[in-house]
Amino acid sequence: MASTGQPQSSLKRPNPAVNREGDKLIITPLGAGNEVGRSCVFMSFKGKKIMFDCGIHPGFSGMSALPYFDEIDPASIDVLLVTHFHLDHAASLPYFLEKTTFKGRVFMTHATKAIYKLILSDYVKVSKVSVDDMLFDENDISNSMNKIEVIDFHQTLEVNGIRFWCYTAGHVLGAAMFMVDIAGVRVLYTGDYSREEDRHLRAAEIPQFSPDICIIESTYGVQLHMPRQIREKLFTDVIHSTVMQGGRVLIPAFALGRAQELLLILDEYWSNHPELSNFPIYYASPLARKCMAVYQTYINSMNERIRNQFASSNPFNFKHISSLNSIEDFIDNKPCVVMASPGSLQSGLSRQLFDKWCSDKKNACVIPGYVVEGTLAKTIINEPKEVTLTNGLSAPLNMQVHYISFSAHADYAQTSTFLKELMPPNIILVHGEANEMGRLKAKLTSLFADGNTKIITPKNCQSVEMHFNSEKMAKTIGKLAEKTPEVGEIVSGLLVKKGFTYQIMAPDDLHVFSQLSTANITQRITIPYSGAFAVIQHRLKQIYESVESSTDEESGVPTLRVHERVTVKQESENHLSVHWTADPISDMVSDSVMALVLNASREMPRVLLESETSINEQEDAKKAEKIVHALLLSLFGDVKYGDDGKLVINVDGNVAHLDKLTGDVECENESLKERVRTAYRRIRSAVKPIPLSPS
Beta-sheet strands, E only, within 417-553: 426-430, 454-456, 464-467, 474-476, 494-498, 501-505, 522-528, 547-551
Q: Which residues pair with 79 in a beta bridge?
A: 50, 105
Angle at 656 between CA 655 and CA 661, to 5 degrees: 155
DSSP state of 22: G
> How many other C-beta atoms lie within 10 A of the C-beta of residue 391?
7
Task: Compute the distance between CA of residue 136 and CA of residue 512 in angstroms, rounded to an integer.
Answer: 47
Q: Cβ contacts of residue 168 below 8 Å, gap of 6+?
A: 153, 175, 176, 177, 202, 203, 204, 205
409, 431, 467, 563: which is the annotated catalytic residue?
409
Report the chain's C-alpha Rg in angstroms.
39
CB 677 within 8 A of CB 683: no
Task: Compute the distance between CA of residue 396 and CA of residue 61 in angstroms, rounded to an integer.
Answer: 26
**What stretch of H or E contains 272?**
helix 258-272
* Counts of helices then strands in the chain (DSSP H, E): 17, 35
Single-letter amino acid code for the residue at 537: Q
DSSP state of 646: -
Task: Compute the distance between CA of residue 478 and CA of residue 267 in angstroms, rounded to an integer.
Answer: 58
Phi then psi for 508, rounded to 5 degrees? -65, -25
CB 19 within 8 A of CB 192: no
Provide the angle, in degrees to the nearest 10, between the axes of the packed helices 258-272 and 228-244: 60
Task: Compute the distance between CA of residue 693 and CA of residue 485 in angstroms, rounded to an integer.
Answer: 54
Task: Compute the distance between CA of residue 407 and CA of residue 531 in angstroms, rounded to an integer.
Answer: 94
3-state secondary structure of 395: strand
3-state secondary structure of 90: helix
Q: Which residues pair with 498 in a beta bridge?
A: 501
Q: Would residue 409 show up in a list of annotated catalytic residues for this protein?
A: yes
Residue positions counted in the chain: 695
Task: Compute the distance between CA of residue 332 and CA of residue 345 in angstroms, rounded to an integer.
Answer: 19
**What stretch of H or E contains 402?**
strand 400-403
Task: Compute the distance between CA of residue 259 and CA of residue 279 in angstroms, rounded to an integer.
Answer: 19
3-state secondary structure of 214: strand
Phi then psi for 231, rounded to 5 degrees? -60, -45
Single-letter amino acid code for the residue at 233: K
Task: Compute the distance between CA of residue 228 and CA of residue 232 in angstroms, rounded to an integer.
Answer: 6
DSSP state of 10: S
269-276 long-range contacts (CB < 8 A, ≥24 apart) are 269/236, 269/239, 269/240, 270/319, 270/320, 271/319, 271/320, 273/240, 275/244, 276/240, 276/243
Could you list the active site residues? 409
